[in-house]
Structure 1
Amino acid sequence: MQGNLFTSNFKKNIKFIIKVIIFIICLIPVITFIGIKYSSASTENIINKFNEKRFEDFYNLPPNSLDMVFLGSSHSYCTFDPEIFDKNLNINSFQMGMPLQHPDSTYYTLKEVLNYQKPKVVVMEIYWDLLQNDFELNQVKTLFQVLNNNTLKKEYIKEDFPLSEKIKYNTNIFKYQEDYFAYKGNEYNKKIKTKFNVKDKTTKKQIGIEEYRSKGYVYSNYKMLEDEYNKTNQFKNLDGKNFEFSNTQKDFLLKIINLCKENNIKLVFVTAPVANVSMSYIKNYDIIHNKISTFAKENNIPYIDYNLINIEKTLLTNDNFRDDAHLNHSGVEIISNHFINFLKENNIIP
């Protein structure tokens, strides 16, 4: 009797396992199809297209032709115009900043730069918000879309991806889910407004242009929208007391410092300015500044914070910003020229 019961249960288990296997086999094509569909959304992002052009131009440069390279997040490519530096310093520079670039992706970007170039100076933009996360997959995806170095990608994944992010990165349905829904949500919103002739009364369209120009730089003559002065300003609830300097990102900053030392490169840290009105909302900014400044001093890295410089000297007005956090070209000219003097005065570039 027990033998018959065992045989019956065994057969049921086998049937269940077979059903699970069949289900998984049927599910794989669906997951693959959705993953491909999701991944296509990332190619529609105009900022990604700027980044593709940036790296395309970089890879087409003559070997060892650069004297200075700019690295960092969007605050880098919205602050430093290489053409201004080249003209005033008689050098050849290039802007390699990328959206959301954390120190970990900055480190791997620099490693790739050094495979082709031997710059004398590296200017690294330091934006405090990106120093708080141990890992952020979106910024890595942005880099991997344009990085022509599979060995470096594998090293990054093997050495520095948390296990959960390795799984997510290798599964398109999870990897590009955020890109897809952001893109589709925007598309559906446009269609609904067009169909029902709905006009957005709260947000005005920016007048002007934003375009990739040259040497990695993105030109813009936009001016900050009225809503960003108050209603939608992202800095309204920011308190420096809550700033946490990630040990992981500190370690990558140290790796960048050591990589520059090994290659006899002068490294400079810079914090790009946010809009004047944005700074008025931030509480205890001195805590953020002091933590970054202390780290720079401990490692003998020159550091300039343009939020403090702007408060002290009023270099900029809100009209010099394209949004609440990024300069337009009028502001870029002011900061680039000020930074050129900083480089000269500190003998970073004679």
Structure 2
Amino acid sequence: MKKFISQVGIFISITSIVILIMVVTTIAIMKQASFKIDTNKNILILGSCFTEISIDDRIFERSANLSQTGTAYIYSYCKLKKVLEINSHIDTVLVSFQYGELSKSGEDIWIMSSEFMFPKVAFYISLLGKEEFAVYKDKGALFQAILQTPVRNVNAVIKYFRKGNNNYTYKDLRVGSYLRLDRDRLQVEMEIWEKNKDKKRNEEESPLQKRYLQKIANLCNEHNVKLILVNTPVYQSKKYDDNVDKLYEYRNKYLRQADLFDYSNFSLPDSCRGDIAHLNYKGAKIFSEYLQAHFHEDAKACADAKKQFYQYNSKE
């Protein structure tokens, strides 16, 4: 019996050492990825699914889109910090700004739930600092997330060995890019909204989301970078998005150094909507073409008005 227990102990020890080596090695490899962005791209796009699927940086050519579904501001901050360290030509940052992203329920899901914590920690572990690791309440779940790092980043490690250190970039990591959304759920979402419209409740704001959005603003200010909060197109926004006024209030109260570009009322055919709040690839193409042609004009209109916000007017 003692021999069996001893053998089990040895096995557990060896397994633990192997896993530790794999975790450390994976993180070390991920840290080698270059976050250098082409010098012809001076606009960095960050945020969650709203900017991820709405702005195609192949069309909006001056931009680099590092948005990702379910990405809380804590992860956007870590990406921004890394990018600004080595890209002095980045002079503008666009950040997804929807009121739902500021909610406590959003924090509970996007940051604290194991559903999102496990993949996000594994994908962003090379960018997270001590302060970021401290925000997770469930340390057991955090430990599990860290242990999953090698498995969740197998492709990133393989790409490193295929490409070599000099050609290994952020694009080889799973930290965000434009996502082509092929979806047509507008009618379904409208029916769901009608059934649940009387169940709406006032959302408590998220302390963590507020803190890291402010840190993004402070970091932009330190680097003399223009921060623009972007509210992406919403289907019939006056009916289906009653939080637009709250965005203006929030910006005026907490983020007066940032501009707010409100495209919630951007006019598009129904066929361009993935659902109420998201564009599909057809809508992304039209919206990105608009930004390519008119972003400078919108920014100038915002500056000339000296109101620090631009609101797209539509007849939709």
TM-score range, shorter chain: 0.5 to 0.7
Instruction: Identify which of 214, 237, 252 aligns with 1:294.
Output: 252
Segments of 5+ residues of structure 1 without an aligned counterpart are: 1-17, 36-51, 87-91, 180-214
Residues 73, 100 of structure 1: 8 Å contact kept: yes
Distance 1:26 1:273 in 2: 58
**Superposition pairs of residues 175-186 of structure 1, within 5 angstroms:** none
Cα deviation, 1:1-27, whole Å, max 9, x if unaligned, reads: xxxxxxxxxxxxxxxxx9xx99x9699
Match of 2:298 in 1: 342
Q: Deviations over 1:52-78 (max 9, x none)?
A: 9xxx8x74745x563111000011111
Task: Tell me which residue corresponds to 1:130.
Answer: 101
Residue matched to 1:274: 234
Matches within 5 A, 1:52-201: 59=35, 61=37, 66-86=41-61, 92-118=62-88, 119-132=90-103, 133=107, 135-136=111-112, 138-147=115-124, 150=126, 152-158=127-133, 160-165=134-139, 167-171=140-144
CA distance in 1, matches of 2:102, 2:83: 22
Change in 2 beyond 3 A, CA 1:326/1:117:
same
Q: Look up the equivalent residue of 2:55 and give its one-letter code.
A: F
Please give the alpha-carbon distance, in whole angstroms, between the structure 2 residues aligned to 1:154 and 1:253.
16
1:98-119 C-alpha deviation (Å, 9 max, x unpaired): 1111111111111122233231
Question: How far, CA to CA, are the matches of 1:172 and 1:301 in structure 2?
Answer: 34
Cα drift, residue 327 of structure 1: 0.3
Q: Residue 235 of structure 1: CA displacement?
A: 9.1
TM-score normalised by structure 1 residue count: 0.58
CA distance in 1, matches of 2:71, 2:52: 11
The 1:290/1:154 distance shift into structure 2, 3 A limit, reads closer
TM-score, structure 2 length as denominator? 0.63
The structure-2 alpha-carbon separation of the partners of 1:168 and 1:145, relative to structure 1 and needing over 3 Å to count, comes to closer
Q: Deviations over 1:87-142 (max 9, x none)?
A: xxxxx321000111111111111112223323110000112222122643555544
**Cα-to-partner distance string for 1:133-152 (whole Å, 9 max, x where unaligned):** 264355554444444x73x3
Q: Which amino acid aligns with 1:219?
A: R
CA distance change for structure 1 residues 116 and 234 in 2, over 3 Å: closer, same or farther?
Answer: farther
Show structure 2 runs of 5+ residues with no match.
20-29, 153-175, 305-316
* Cα distance, 1:258 vs structure 2: 0.9
C-alpha separation in 1, matches of 2:119 and 2:85:
20
CA distance in 2, matches of 1:216, 1:173: 23
Post-superposition offset of 1:248: 2.4
- Give the SS at the match of 1:264: coil
Change (3 A) 1:163 1:218: closer
The separation in 2 between residues aligned to 1:321 and 1:101, in whole angstroms, is 21
Tell me if structure 2 keeps the 8 A contact 1:243–1:288.
no
Give the one of 181, 185, 195 matched to 1:220: 181
Quickly say closer, same or farther: Cα 1:142–1:60, change in 2 above 3 A: farther
> What whole-Å deviation, never above 9, does each CA across 1:218-266 have from its counterpart, x for those lacking one?
22353336423314x5994487761322222222111111100111111
The 1:329–1:255 alpha-carbon spacing in structure 2 relative to 1, beyond 3 Å, is same
Letter in 1 for 2:85: N
**Which residue does 2:312 correspond to in 1?**
none
AA aligned to 1:84 is I
Residue 321 of structure 1 and its aligned partner are, at CA, apart by 0.9
1:115 partner SS: helix
Alignment of 1:248 onto 2:223: no
For residues 154 and 304 of structure 1, the distance between their equivalents in structure 2, rounded to whole angstroms, comes to: 31
Give the counterpart of 1:229 among 168, 190, 193. Answer: 190
Root mean square deviation of aligned Cα: 4.2
- Contact residue 231 and residue 263 of structure 2 kept, 8 A: yes
User: 1:288 and 1:243 mapped to 2: Cα distance?
Assistant: 11
Within 2, Cα distance between the matches of 1:80 and 1:72?
Answer: 11
